[in-house]
């Protein structure tokens, strides 16, 4: 077998070189757009005073989950301030949010398409397997060539790595909708788009939100990899701590990633299963509204009986 070699790496290099030489207008446009979004969001998050942002994050947690999560949010983000990682934490949060937004915009329509077309599903499955199992560091090579260093390569590499679960769970959610419910929609004359919007997407939303949750977790797991690509944030702090063997810096930056992961995980889990968020502010208001409606119905039912008695 001496001398036998398949030059797959050279073929890949040829493709990368061709894209760099012929599609620079596209990569420049992507770089400008992603850089504007990620950098702009990071500037906004860091422009507001940290205490105000903590209160805002806590209110969101209470609104969708519980007062316990709101209290935990205050504690976690106060610790981030205490270890002097607030600025980098907001940079990481902006990177994760923008990467998640881009991923969802791509993954959800692609998952719906795969759920409605078996050929598409068959074609994209091996591609998703490749994207999910390829070592994440490999993605940095072409994205750094295309987009240099900074926020943009970190976001692009994060999108590529976190895309597969979003597509898979969207497809799984749409396919998991009860066929009898879909057939009932057809029987009432609903068009495919109406069935998708009115039946399949609402019923598949918990599974789709679970996919978005996984996207966020994978995006946060890429924080360190993004730091290697020069993206500012906690990942860059971890890379710096690794290069200097600074244990304290590594622990503090790592805790920041963990706290952001816990916060985003609980928020997305609550959005995916709102019925389980009984202690949320929205849940409390909804229960009170339901109790008021029942009391109104009971009062109106008793009114005719009172008139008849007289």
Mean pLDDT of 109-133: 88
Q: How confident is the model at residue 76 (pLDDT cuts 50, 70, 90)?
A: very high
Q: How confident is the model at residue 11 (pLDDT cuts 50, 70, 90)?
A: confident
What whole-number distance in Å separates Cα of residue 251 and Cα of residue 189? 59
The predicted-structure confidence for 194-212, as pLDDT tens digits, reads as follows: 888 788 888 888 888 888 8
Cα 256 to its chain centre, rounded Å, is: 18
Q: How confident is the model at residue 77 (pLDDT cuts 50, 70, 90)?
A: very high
For helices 8-22 and 136-147, what crossing angle results, to 10°?
30
pLDDT at residue 283, as a whole number: 64
Residue pair 238/224 in contact by the 8 Å Cβ criterion: yes
Enter the pTM of the model: 0.81
Map residue 84 onto helix, strand or coil: coil
Beta-carbon neighbour count of residue 211 at 10 Å? 29
Mean pLDDT of 159-173: 88
Mean pLDDT of 6-23: 80
Cα 123 to its chain centre, rounded Å, is: 24
CA atoms within 13 A on the CB side of 296: 6
DSSP 275: G
The predicted-structure confidence for 131-140, as pLDDT tens digits, reads as follows: 888 877 777 7
Higher pLDDT, 294 or 243: 243
Cα Rg, the chain, nearest whole Å: 24
141, two tokens: 């090579």
């Amino acid at each position: 077998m001496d001398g036998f070699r398949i030059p797959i790496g050279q073929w890949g290099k040829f493709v990368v070189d061709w894209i760099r030489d012929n599609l620079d207008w596209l990569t420049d446009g992507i770089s400008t757009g992603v850089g504007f979004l990620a950098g702009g969001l990071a500037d906004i998050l860091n422009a507001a005073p940290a205490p105000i942002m903590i209160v805002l994050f806590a209110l969101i947690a209470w609104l969708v989950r519980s007062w316990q999560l709101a209290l935990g949010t205050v504690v976690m983000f106060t610790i981030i301030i205490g270890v002097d990682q607030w600025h980098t934490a907001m940079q990481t949060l902006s990177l994760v949010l923008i990467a998640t937004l881009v991923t969802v915009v791509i993954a959800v329509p692609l998952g719906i398409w795969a759920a409605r077309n078996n050929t598409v599903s068959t074609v994209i499955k091996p591609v998703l397997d490749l994207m999910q199992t390829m070592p994440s560091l490999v993605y940095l090579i072409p994205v750094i060539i295309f987009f240099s260093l900074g926020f943009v390569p970190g976001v692009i590499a994060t999108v590529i790595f976190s895309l597969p679960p979003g597509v898979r769970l969207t497809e799984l959610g749409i396919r998991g909708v009860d066929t009898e419910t879909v057939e009932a929609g057809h029987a009432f004359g609903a068009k495919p788009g109406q069935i998708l919007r009115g039946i399949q997407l609402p019923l598949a939303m918990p599974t789709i939100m679970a996919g978005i949750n996984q996207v966020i977790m994978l995006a946060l797991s890429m924080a360190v990899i993004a730091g290697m690509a020069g993206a500012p944030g906690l990942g860059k702090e971890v890379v710096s701590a690794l290069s200097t063997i600074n244990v304290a810096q590594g622990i503090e930056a790592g805790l920041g990633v963990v706290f952001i992961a816990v916060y985003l995980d609980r928020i997305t889990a609550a959005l995916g299963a709102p019925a389980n968020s009984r202690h949320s502010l929205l849940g409390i208001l909804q229960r009170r509204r339901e109790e008021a409606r029942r009391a109104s119905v009971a009062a109106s039912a008793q009114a005719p009986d009172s008139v008849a008695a007289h």
